[in-house]
Homo-oligomer: A and B are copies of this chain.
């Protein structure tokens, strides 16, 4: 559907938002309807978009967090971007990021409908919430009784992300997430944080877009989307730099000092150069799903990849991350001009 919009000459921003809305509406994704429930049993959504126009003169970002009463959080992020381009009285700086009640009021003023939080909860999310809450209660009792609990891996964190390049060569990268299951209310993940959930930028000869998924806190502490985007745009060779940066700036980042956690990150990088897009994905999570197509394709290619790689090579002598494995895949898509 996004491809059809791009074929009709619609903007990357419109197409990316439309695609994210579809993913938000699906009960299978952790975004919009069907999001993970927070510790209070409520849905609280994050979304973000970054937009770069081909000539590189116009870069825009909009992020929203802790939205409890909006069906499609990505549309609020889009409204923030549109608002930035409107005339302003008295030179008032327009916002980049809006959160909580204030963000909902902004959305309402911009014509979006507020909904009741319960309409965003799926059967599946409610079941998962009950299961995790029960586990947590049992763990608390076990700890009080002096028993030792084996740490479970973090429950699903799958942010959804969409990257679109339109006929003008403009790029939009958008992401949406319901956050970690049982997160503290008010917690912000990587998605609405500038440079962490998505990135879009142009140089004179190339363009880049990045979308990230995984443990939001680790993706924030490594400013991963911006780090990847700027380095690859400056130096080219996306596959080489993606691997190098994922090892040195993510898995073995000095900013991630707590070694008791695995590094949980998945990234999709689209490097756009003349007439083709070089897609590369890298992930340390168990799996990653990606679909892509060009307007000259009849249907999308969908890849479900499992992390079966060997251990990421430690480059700083830190051996405690033995269990973090990095898998990489790449695809080239030809564009029609």
The interface of chain A, by Cβ under 8 A from chain B, is 38, 44, 56-61, 65-66, 84, 89-106, 132, 135-136, 139-140, 143, 149, 151-154, 180, 182-188, 193-196, 201, 215-217, 220-221, 223, 226, 254-255, 257-258, 261
Contacts and interface: CB of A to CB of B under 8 A. Distances in A.
By Cβ-Cβ distance, the 5 closest A-B pairs, closest first, are A102-B186, A100-B100, A102-B185, A91-B151, A97-B188
Nearest to A67: B186
A108 to B, nearest CB: 12
Contact of A186 (B44, B57, B99, B215): B99
A171 to B, nearest CB: 14
A99 B104 CA distance: 14
Given A95-B184, A96-B220, A102-B186, 10 more contacts: A44-B102, A56-B254, A60-B257, A89-B143, A90-B152, A97-B220, A105-B185, A106-B184, A106-B186, A194-B221
15 contacts: A58-B257, A59-B254, A59-B257, A89-B136, A90-B135, A92-B180, A92-B182, A93-B180, A96-B220, A97-B220, A98-B186, A99-B188, A100-B100, A201-B254, A201-B255
Contacts of A89: 136, 139-140, 143, 149
Contact of A100 (B66, B97, B180, B201): B66
